[in-house]
Amino acid sequence: MIIVTNDEGRPGVGRTAALLAKGASRLDAIEAGIRLVEADPAIRTVGRGGLANMVGRVQLDAMIMDGDTLESGAVGAIEGFAHAITIARAVKDRLPHELLVGAGAERFAREVGAELADNLTDASAEIWQDWLEATVPIADRARWQDSAALAPYVRNAIKADLLPSDDDITAPVDDDRPQGADTTVFLAIDHTGALGCGVSTSGWAWKYPGRLGDSPIVGAGAYADSRYGAAACTGTGEMAIRAGTSRSIVLYLKMGLALNEAVDAAIDDLRGLKGGLIDRITIHAIDAAGASRVVAVNAQQDRQFWQWRDGEAKPQRIQAERVDL
């Protein structure tokens, strides 16, 4: 048994490990761990406390996938609910669909009794308001919610000097300040040897309303196949969507490449991207035998992840590799 989760998974990795150690299934353990991340307002890009989109609203994406059946469930651009991962799980379990977005996903969430929540905390609202007042002229602010042209501001906001930096919203694990600058991803193998994956995010700060990142896109943000392995990405989701990064890693494993080779091949695919948004992305991967590798691509600072294996007393925080494109 193994769990791999990124640094933002800290609030939930212990719970996931404890459940797996007691014989829980991979999806039950993954969902339980991610719910704790979603509920922690210190993690600024997942669930409650997530950073707002361009118009000051927190929109959530999530996906969960069973590596045995290749069934998945995902939701995108939903507002007003505490646990996007649980709604995604309900899509998998209750519908003949893989992905619901926006108003339809919210209707389904109400239908299944999903927990309501206002995910925009005072701290996140203040960050958004400070950005709005510093960046948007008064004339546009007056019509910001309905008719202002947002596209130019979105294009400007992806520049490093306008987005909230990791230093602004990230702190050491033993610090009380807000933490987190990424999606959370969980990869797991349970006591049966089966694999699963789950992801949850509030996405990029200042994103255009309705933007979907890679997280709810099966094969981009995450993918699991118990025969070969599982992978998940954090960071610039547009890159993972264009390259199909998570599915590619699993396919490279299927082709017979070792885990290190499969991840290297996926990084080479990213090098082939031309134009568009090219930034940082972190790849998390495990194979069916339980080997793991985490690589931070184009990272501006060191990245960490959490890992737990059967028999270990507690999860370990480990330094990710760093690679530039």
- Residues serving a catalytic function are 183
CA gap 36, 18 in Å, rounded: 13
CA gap 150, 129 in Å, rounded: 16
Buried b (16+ CB within 10 A) or exposed e, 192-202: eebbbbbbbbb
For residue 89, give both structure tokens: 């799980």
> Is residue 242 over pLDDT 90?
yes
- Name the amino acid, one letter, at 15: R
> Is residue 253 over pLDDT 90?
yes
Give 65-110 pLDDT, tens digit per residue. 999 999 999 999 999 999 999 999 999 999 999 999 999 999 999 9
Stated pTM of the model? 0.93
Give 174-230 pLDDT, tens digit per residue. 333 334 458 999 999 999 999 999 999 999 889 999 999 999 999 999 999 999 999
Which domains are assigned to the chain? 2-120+174-323 (3.60.20.30)
